[in-house]
């Protein structure tokens, strides 16, 4: 069983997203530790980028704060290396193609493998262009995680058949951010996914309350929460870890 699949082996997975370096890397480290203690099954680590096109204002703000604080990709690899001394849950990076290209694609993906990153999410790379990264990811054993959106339509089965790690199902049109309601017909998309693969499927974008988390977990194998967590980092800064721990515990209980 690969490491990412293990995150889904004991029931519904809770997956928090954290922007590395917001407000600083020490706080990021403490948030990861606290998240795991309070039930996180897999953690998405965002590498800051100056033009995060998939993100709403909350995560855009986190990217800006992290970059202004001087966070560099090499420093994030060191953060992961340090975390791996104690953290065993799967870790995946979420970033953009330019970050990988500017670091050097092979250097970046080999460093993922060496430091203990299990997967890579690149929301600005469409399915048709994934071969730019897929051979290197397979060479180094890093899962290139596919996104499926409400607009994927007749491509859902095709994407699902070739998916690795887990499928990131985008709940709604638009960018990341807290939503009052999620009205997309996700059950029909998940039905097509299930017909084409047994890889776990987690739903993200817009989930912020225990009620929403339970609703999405009832449909899928797990939930991804980003903006609601990043908002707590914006609100509490270095004091955020304890607040985030309590929040994750509540969300995990809701989906268990």
At residue 180, the pLDDT reads: 53
Asked if the 3-255 domain carries CATH number 3.20.20.70, the reply is: yes
What pTM did the predictor assign? Answer: 0.93
At residue 179, the pLDDT reads: 43
At residue 86, the pLDDT reads: 97
What residues form DSSP beta bridges with 70? none
Q: In whole angstroms, what separates CA 208 from the centre of its chain?
A: 15
Question: Domain segments of the chain: what residues?
Answer: 3-255
Per-residue model confidence as pLDDT tens digits over 114-149:
999 999 999 999 888 999 999 999 999 999 999 999
Residue appearing with tokens 């707590």: 232
Q: Which helix (H) or strand (E) holds 170?
A: strand 167-170
At residue 223, the pLDDT reads: 98
Token digits for 128?
Answer: 């048709």
Q: Rounded CA gap, 199 and 169, in Å?
A: 12
Per-residue model confidence as pLDDT tens digits over 140-185:
999 999 999 988 888 999 999 999 999 999 987 544 444 455 556 8
Residue appearing with tokens 């953009």: 96
Per-residue model confidence as pLDDT tens digits over 1-31:
479 999 999 999 999 999 999 999 999 999 9
At residue 53, the pLDDT reads: 64
For residues 149 and 186, the answer to whether their CB atoms sit within 8 Å is no
Angle (CA) 29-30-34 rounded to 5° is 120
Q: Rounded CA gap, 55 and 208, in Å?
A: 15
153 contact partners, CB below 8 Å, separation of at least 6: none
Token digits for 7?
Answer: 């995150």
Residue appearing with tokens 């199902």: 169
Per-residue model confidence as pLDDT tens digits over 26-78:
999 999 999 999 999 999 999 998 876 666 788 989 999 999 999 999 999 99
Angle (CA) 74-129-186 rounded to 5° is 95
Per-residue model confidence as pLDDT tens digits over 209-242:
999 999 999 999 999 999 999 999 999 999 999 9
């Amino acid at each position: 069983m690969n490491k990412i699949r293990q995150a889904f082996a004991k029931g519904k997975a809770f997956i928090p997203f954290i922007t590395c370096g917001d407000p600083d890397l020490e706080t990021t480290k403490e948030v990861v530790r606290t998240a795991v203690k309070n039930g996180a099954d897999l953690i998405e680590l965002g590498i800051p980028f100056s033009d995060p096109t998939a993100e709403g204002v909350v995560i855009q703000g986190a990217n800006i704060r992290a970059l202004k604080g001087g966070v560099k990709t090499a420093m994030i690899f060191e953060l992961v290396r340090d975390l791996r001394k104690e953290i065993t849950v799967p870790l995946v990076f979420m970033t953009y193609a330019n970050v990988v290209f500017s670091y050097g694609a092979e250097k970046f993906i080999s460093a993922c493998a060496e430091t203990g990153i299990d997967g890579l999410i690149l929301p600005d790379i469409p399915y048709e262009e994934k071969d730019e990264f897929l051979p290197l990811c397979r060479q180094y054993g890093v899962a290139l995680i596919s996104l499926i959106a409400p607009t994927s339509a007749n491509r859902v089965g095709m994407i699902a058949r070739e998916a690795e790690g887990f499928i990131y199902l985008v709940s709604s049109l638009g960018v990341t951010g807290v939503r009052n309601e999620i009205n997309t017909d996700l059950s029909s998309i998940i039905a097509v996914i299930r017909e084409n693969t047994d890889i776990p499927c987690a739903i993200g974008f817009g989930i912020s309350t225990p009620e929403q988390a339970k609703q999405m977990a009832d449909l899928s194998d797990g939930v991804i929460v980003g903006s609601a967590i990043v908002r707590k980092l914006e609100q509490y800064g270095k004091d955020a870890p304890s607040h985030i721990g309590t929040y994750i515990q509540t969300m995990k209980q809701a989906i268990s």
